[in-house]
Amino acid sequence: MAAAQVILTERLTRRFGEATAVDALDMTVERGEVVGLLGHNGAGKTTTVRLLNGVLAPSSGRAQVLGLDPQRDGVALRRRCGVSTETPSVDERLTGRQGLRFFAEVYDVARERVEPRLAELLAAFDLEAAADQRVGTYSKGMRQRLTLARALLHEPELLFLDEPSSGLDPVAARAVDERIAGLRDGGTTVLLCTHNLAQAQALCDRVVVLEHGKVVASGAPTALAAELGARLAVRVALRLDDASAAPGLLADVPGIDQVVTQQAEPLELRFEAADADAIAAAVRALVRAGADVYAVERELPSLEHVYFALHRGERLAHGSSGRLVADDGVQRAEVAAGQRAQGEEVRS
């Protein structure tokens, strides 16, 4: 295990009876990275977190976290990790302060540091005013913030965040994202389990996409998106006397499809183009028809495109072990011979 590697798994597998929750997972996380573990419910994200914390024993394969074996050195390892669980997992009958104090004791925070640390975190997570109220009276956003504060109590080297924005309203979700960004900027290594693709795209250096416990793709979000060859999505703002005719003008342009009127007033079209030449041809067709074109904007391929493309591919080629790896800078698709079919399906 290289010194910079904080997490290393080799064919890590966990079965529950007949079901395989995590299937031969190979993954590395380096110090200071924020890595997103993406996947829908039941993809194996939470089981992976439990395996990496020594809470569950693997059925086969191995893991090393912070240089320790989670199974053998679970107690020592958990002392250096913080986990924000998917459900807030905070006792409603305790006050926020009591709950944090309990975990400070259990995490063996130095006695003289407990109260100052509590004050620090309650202030940082905007919970000071409610600190002595029962958690049962807290909103979902407050509970989530309390969960994050709990995970940070002992200043862990490695942070596992399991769906930290789950069920939050946009304002609360953004506040949580800002906290995570702050941690990232402070150099904390974070494994972020989420199915919030926008969050992963904004916060993660790399993502690992899980399906049925298997890694189906990994890499930098933008690199992955480009590697998957998502078609170019384009938005055009224009004025045309007969606005309803606009989509029809593009119907015969080679390389253009999926044309929709995004907005009627002012008129905005959205379409997908095979390449840049197709975009130019589309603009020419619009101008020839008398349109005034105000703006042409290319949408960057997002992680969302990747995710849904992979999801479609998984369904089309279910059972194959298609896996795509993309590095920032040098992008490469590792689609082995038997897996190429899936890669092609994804592109279709």
Question: Which parts of this chain interact with other proteins (CB under 8 A)?
Answer: 16, 50, 53, 55-57, 74-79, 81, 83, 85, 87, 89-94, 98, 102-103, 105-108, 134, 147, 150
* Count of beta carbons in the 10 Å neighbourhood of residue 111: 9
Least Å from the CB of residue 83 to other proteins: 4
Task: Tell me 89's DSSP state.
Answer: -
- Of 145 and 305, the one with the shorter C-beta distance to other proteins is 145
Closer by beta carbon to other proteins, 80 or else 174: 80
Rounded CA separation 164/340 (Å): 35
> What is the CA 67 to chain-centroid distance, rounded?
25
Q: Which is nearer to other proteins, 135 or 250 (CB)?
A: 135
CB of 169 to other proteins, least distance (A): 21
Q: Is the CB of 81 or the CB of 224 nearer to other proteins? A: 81
Nearer of residues 43 and 282 to other proteins, judged by Cβ:
43
Nearest to 218 by CA among 28, 73, 3: 28
**Closest-CA residue to 215 (of 36, 27, 63, 49):** 27
User: Locate tokens 């976290």: which residue?
Assistant: 65
CA dihedral of 209, 276, 267, 238, whole degrees rounded to 10: 150
CA distances from 332 to 217, 268, 300 (A): 12, 35, 19
- Exposed, middle or buried: residue 308 (CB in 10 Å: 0-12, 13-18, 19+)? middle
Task: Output the smallest distance, CB 113 to other proteins, in A.
Answer: 13
Q: Can you read off the two tokens belonging to residue 171?
A: 């304002």
**Complex with other proteins: residue 59 or 302, whichever CB lies closer:** 59
- Distance in angstroms (rounded) separating the CA atoms of residues 47 and 14: 8
> What's the closest the beta carbon of residue 105 comes to other proteins, in angstroms?
4
The least CB distance from residue 53 to other proteins, in Å, is 6
Rounded distance, CA 101 to CA 105, Å? 6
Q: Indicate the residue among 23 and 314 with the shorter CB distance to other proteins.
A: 23
| Rounded least distance, CB 84 to other proteins, Å | 9
Structure tokens at 233: 């999505």
CB 111, min distance to other proteins, A = 9
